Structure 1
Amino acid sequence: MNKKSFNKAINFLKKESFYVILFICLCIAVTAAVITARNNKNQSAQLQKSQAVEQKKIRETAKANEKPSSNYNNALQVKKDNKSKSNISNNEASKGVSNSVSTSFQKPVEGNIARGYSEDPVYWDSTATYRPNLGYDIQTPLGKPVFAAMDGKVESVNTATQDGVEVIIDHQNGLKTVYSNLDPNVKVSAGQTIKKGAVIGVVGKSTLRSAYEKYGDHLHFAVLKGKEFVDPGKYIKY
């Protein structure tokens, strides 16, 4: 092979080597991009799963914190052991009373629903936090009369809760109603038996948790069925 032919061969190999190296680089770049995309997809799926778990924890924690008062928390504690015959007798007597009590509610106050019942956390301007609203916030003027939604017995009058001055009425049929953000000058006392429509107080400004909501003055009204809060819309319509 002469020198000229040898030089041509060398130049050909150099040219082809460039394309081979370029092809290998492209393959490496494509492979890296595929691996990166796959990793990003896996990280995104893990992040979404983590966010879902965190949101569930926030919802459960917020719901656990939505209590009418510390006094009422104690009233909700149930002892499952050492049930005596006297408890059975009391339950039977209560059942007899329950059969004679109507489950028809009247509106606790005249007004409009400013914030409805929500078990999912919602944003509150007053505290700049997210938490459920396990009742109705009924927008109404300050000093508006508040009525017992149904016949019952006043279980407690609490004057130092985060929801303000609060009255809880046991209707002796498995239902209880909670009236919060009342004026301190309430018209009823614990242990008092009252009729549906009786005035229990007036709307006040005693709440801490919703004192600065955009909808202003309101009554917070909640319904308990057993130990659980339920949507008041099942019993009253606005």
Structure 2
Amino acid sequence: MDKKFLNKTTNFFKKEGFYVILFVCLCIVATAAVLTVKSNKHNALMQQNAQTQEKVKKQTAKANNESSLNYDNALQVKKNSKAQVVVPKNEAKSQSVSNTASTSLNKPVEGSLARAYSEDPVYWESTSSYRPNLGLDIKAEIGKPVFASMDGKVEEINSATQDGVKVVINHQNGLKTVYSNLDEKVKVTKGQNVTKGMVIGAVGKTTLRSAYEKYGDHLHFQVLKGNDFVNPAKYVKY
């Protein structure tokens, strides 16, 4: 039986062997084609991904360069804007005039310096005590005219102070001037606008604090910067 089966098998392969071989070859070719197609698709996908990544890198680099350029330009513009500050000639001139006016005072009275400004206590014979002198005592005869040292507005008139009759002028530039030991008949009123050199009163003998000093009759002259007394010698010379 085995011999018959073997003979049948041999005859089958003899008659149908060509087709079997052809089928096997076709299967091999089809498998190879499928594998080739898959390989090509994979390679194409890899190449596309590589191109996409390269494009993204180029766009990122370009964006970074543009950002850096914009930042540098912004810094340059900011720097240039600071450097290009131009003050108009008229404004510069007016500022110069304003600064000069704010640091220059006319003499309030013709006379000589009797006692200088001192924040340290000094001896006063009139009261036999030591205390500061927050102004200038300018020796001048009774009745000598007293002038406004700068344009301004009369802020205060007080006849009941230790330094005698007092007039305060606000110059509206941060400075005030104070004129004390005036005659009771002052020439101005509170709230009045005055000009530099205008007569505001006369030297009197109304002080209680320094009525008996050796240098005699005088004008007590003070300068306020803000709320602080400062040395009038910075603004006027005797």
TM over 0.5: yes
Query: 1:13: which partner in 2?
Result: none
Distance between the aligned counterparts of 1:237 and 1:209, measured in 2?
A: 24
Number of residues of Structure 1 aligned to a counterpart in Structure 2: 141
Query: 1:212: which partner in 2?
Result: 212
Instruction: For structure 1, list consecutive stretches of 5 or more residues without a partner in the other structure.
Output: 1-98
Distance between the aligned counterparts of 1:216 and 1:185, measured in 2?
A: 20
CA contact (8 A) 1:144 1:203 kept: yes
Secondary structure of 1:102's counterpart equals: helix
Q: Is 2:233 the counterpart of 1:229?
A: no
Distance between the aligned counterparts of 1:229 and 1:149, measured in 2?
A: 16
Q: Structure 1 runs of 4+ off > 3 angstroms?
A: none
Q: How does 1:126-205 map onto structure 2 within 5 Å?
A: 126-205=126-205
Distance between the aligned counterparts of 2:99 and 2:145, measured in 1?
A: 27
* 1:65-86: CA deviation from partner (whole Å, max 9, x where unpaired): xxxxxxxxxxxxxxxxxxxxxx
Query: 1:102: which partner in 2?
Result: 101
Secondary structure of 1:186's counterpart equals: coil
Secondary structure of 2:143's counterpart equals: coil
Distance between the aligned counterparts of 2:231 and 2:224, measured in 1?
A: 9
Which has the larger share of helix?
2
Secondary structure of 1:168's counterpart equals: strand
Bigger radius of gyration: 2
CA RMSD of aligned residues (A): 1.5
Instruction: For structure 2, list consecutive stretches of 5 or more residues without a partner in the other structure.
Output: 1-97
Query: 2:116: which partner in 1?
Result: 116
Distance between the aligned counterparts of 1:100 and 1:120, measured in 2?
A: 30
**TM-score, structure 2 normalization:** 0.58
Distance between the aligned counterparts of 1:107 and 1:149, measured in 2?
A: 6
**TM-score, structure 1 normalization:** 0.58
The sequence identity of aligned pairs, in percent, is 71
